[in-house]
């Protein structure tokens, strides 16, 4: 006789089952605000060295689970693993962030890139290690960057606030942009199916720069490729939920929710949760959307913000999360207070 499987509240929520207490995980929960992460980074080297070291990346993924008992573990990696797998060189400049070369601003550059699928293997190794060590009630989330956001880095060679180079290219040479987006989407499908095969139970698509696009471009470069990826994941891994997180989408959120086929939608901190509940499809799981700065503020500011979000999403499946990544100067005590508030233990 087999024992009943241990319930996984986060996974159940992503599949549309509202929980009495919303499950919680935090974007970038495995990272710089944790002293144990900083110690490991000092020992092992820079960010990329950690992300490509399966032992270290697995340890980092597990750190916030051990410390806080989060309902979900998010794979420690980076959205720029996909450009590496497409043949770009990736490195990190101290204090300045990622750099990619050669920049894709002409068709001959894109066509000259040689696929390097071996870049994905360390990530699969991380997934296998974490999957073997997670508590049975903890859901395991994988992720990738969405094609538009990944393309902005591949075109500019680094992060940029307004994504001007990518937006210019999309207007100047839409055929080249489409070819780049298609190539990223193909790799992303392979990558996420590989993560699922290695042991993740749900995946998130981060479109961190979707807010910089006009409505027509949003349809073309965010919704259309996301829909293609989601359809391929649903066909290749039936029953595995896909969370879409189009940061900055604002009023375009309902269209994204309806047209991409995602199973759940992440909402950033600029969105009114009352509006989101009223505007998104009934019953669709929602994730979000505490302002990371409210978490830093703590105290009554934090409590009131948490209560407002919980009330707004009380009638639908809700995964409590931040509206974006946790910031490095976030006090550990404030994270503990947040968990206690959401779980109604403090």
Share of the chain above pLDDT 90, in %: 94
Q: How far apart are CA 123 and CA 100, in angstroms?
A: 19
Q: How far is CA 15 from CA 123, 124, 144, 284, in A?
A: 25, 24, 20, 9
User: Does residue 41 lie in a domain region?
Assistant: yes
Indicate the number of domains in the chain.
1
Q: Residue 124 is inside which H or E element, if any?
A: helix 121-133
User: Does residue 38 lie in a domain region?
Assistant: yes
User: Does residue 15 lie in a domain region?
Assistant: yes
- Catalogue the active-site residues: 28, 32, 41, 78, 153
Say what the pLDDT of residue 96 is.
83
Q: Residue 172 is inside which H or E element, if any?
A: helix 164-172
Say what the pLDDT of residue 3 is.
60
User: Does residue 20 lie in a domain region?
Assistant: yes
Question: What would the pLDDT profile of 117-169 be if each residue is shown by its tens digit?
Answer: 999 999 999 999 999 999 999 999 999 999 999 999 999 999 987 899 999 99
Q: How far apart are CA 242 and CA 265, in angstroms?
A: 9
**Which residue is it, tokens 């060590």?**
133
User: Does residue 312 lie in a domain region?
Assistant: no
Is pTM, for the whole model, over 0.95?
yes
Model confidence at 4: pLDDT above 70? no
Per-chain mean pLDDT for the chain: 96
Q: How far apart are CA 312 and CA 212, in angstroms?
A: 27
CATH number for the domain including 186? Answer: 3.20.20.210
Q: How far is CA 84 from the centre of its chain?
A: 18
Q: How far apart are CA 297 and CA 313, in angstroms?
A: 23
Question: What would the pLDDT profile of 20-43 be if each residue is shown by its tens digit?
Answer: 999 999 999 999 999 999 999 999
Say what the pLDDT of residue 346 is.
62
Structure tokens at 92: 């990190």
User: Does residue 321 lie in a domain region?
Assistant: no
User: Does residue 318 lie in a domain region?
Assistant: no
How many CB atoms within 10 Å of residue 311? 12
Report DSSP state, residue 223. Answer: I
User: Does residue 91 lie in a domain region?
Assistant: yes
Q: Residue 232 is inside which H or E element, if any?
A: helix 224-236
Q: Which residues does residue 290 pair with via DSSP β-bridges, in sequence order?
A: 322
Model confidence at 2: pLDDT above 70? no
Structure tokens at 57: 């990346």
Report DSSP state, residue 333. Answer: H
Mean pLDDT of all residues in 241-265:
97
Model confidence at 94: pLDDT above 90? no
- Structural domain of 137: 9-269
């Amino acid at each position: 006789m087999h024992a009943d499987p241990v319930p996984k509240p986060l996974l159940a929520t992503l599949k549309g089952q509202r929980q009495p207490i919303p499950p919680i995980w935090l974007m970038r929960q495995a990272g710089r605000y944790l002293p144990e992460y900083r110690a490991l980074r000092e020992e092992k080297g820079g960010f990329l060295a950690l992300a490509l070291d399966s032992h270290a990346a697995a340890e980092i993924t597990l750190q916030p689970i051990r410390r806080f008992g989060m309902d979900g573990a998010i794979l420690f990696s980076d959205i720029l693993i996909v450009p590496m797998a497409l043949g770009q060189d990736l490195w990190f400049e101290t204090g300045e962030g990622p750099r990619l070369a050669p920049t894709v601003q002409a068709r001959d550059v894109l066509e000259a890139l040689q696929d390097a699928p071996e870049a994905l293997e360390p990530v699969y190794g991380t997934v296998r290690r974490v999957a073997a060590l997670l508590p049975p009630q903890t859901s395991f989330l994988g992720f990738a960057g969405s094609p538009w956001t990944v393309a902005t880095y591949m075109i500019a060679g680094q992060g940029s606030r307004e994504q001007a180079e990518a937006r210019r290219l999309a207007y100047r040479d839409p055929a080249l942009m489409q070819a780049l987006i298609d190539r990223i989407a193909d790799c992303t499908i392979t990558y996420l199916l590989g993560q699922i095969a290695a042991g993740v139970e749900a995946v998130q698509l981060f479109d961190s720069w979707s807010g910089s696009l006009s409505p027509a471009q949003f349809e073309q470069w965010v919704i259309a490729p996301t829909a293609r990826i989601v359809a391929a994941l649903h066909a290749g891994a039936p029953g595995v939920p896909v969370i879409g997180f189009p940061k900055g989408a604002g009023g375009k959120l309902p269209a994204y929710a309806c047209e991409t086929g995602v199973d759940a939608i992440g909402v950033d901190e600029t969105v009114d949760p009352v509006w989101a509940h009223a505007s998104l499809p009934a019953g669709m799981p929602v994730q979000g959307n505490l302002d990371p700065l409210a978490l830093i503020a703590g105290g009554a500011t934090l409590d009131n913000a948490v209560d407002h979000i919980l009330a707004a999403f009380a009638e639908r499946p809700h995964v409590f999360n931040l509206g974006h990544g946790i910031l490095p100067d976030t006090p550990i005590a404030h994270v503990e207070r947040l968990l206690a508030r959401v779980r109604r233990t403090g």
